[in-house]
Structure 1
Amino acid sequence: MLEINVPGRDTYQIANIVFDYNGTLATDGIINDDIREAIIQLKELANVYVITADTHGNVKQQCSGLGVNITTFPTGDAATYKKIIVEELGADKTLCIGNGYNDIEMFKSAILAIAIIGREGCSGKLIEVADIVVTSIENAIQIILKPKRAIATLRG
Structure 2
Amino acid sequence: MHLLIPGQENLLINHLVLDFNGTIALDGLILPNVREKLLELEKLLKIHVLTADSNGSAARECEGLPVELHVIGQDDQREEKRRFVRTISPGVAVLGNGVNDELMFREADLSIAVVGQEGCATATLMSSKIVVTDIIDGLNLLLMHHRLIPTLRK
> 5+ unaligned residues in a row in structure 1: which ranges?
none
1:29, 1:144 → 2: CA distance? 24
Q: Could you list the structure 1 runs, at least 4 aligned residues long, displaced by more than 6 angstroms after superposition.
A: none
The two structures have a TM-score, normalised by structure 1, of 0.96
Partner of 2:56: 57
- Total equivalences in the alignment: 154
5+ residue gaps, structure 2: none
Percent identity over paired residues: 35
Per-residue CA distance 1:118-154 (angstroms, 9 max, x = gap):
0011011111110000101011001000001111110
> Structure 2: which amino acid aligns with 1:46?
L
For 1:55 and 1:66, how far apart are their aligned partners in 2?
19
Q: Do structure 1's residue 98 and structure 2's residue 96 form an aligned pair? A: yes
SS in structure 1 at match of 2:70: strand
Q: CA RMSD in A?
A: 0.8
Q: What is the TM-score of this pair, normalised by structure 2?
A: 0.97
Q: Distance in 2 between matches of 1:75 and 1:121?
A: 21
Give the distance between the partners of 1:48 and 1:19, measured in 2 at CA: 8
Q: What corresponds to 1:149 in structure 2?
A: 147
How far apart are 1:116 and its partner, in Å? 0.5
For 1:66, the equivalent position in structure 2 comes to 65
How far the C-alpha of 1:32 sits from its partner, in A, is 2.9
Q: Does 1:84 align with 2:56?
A: no
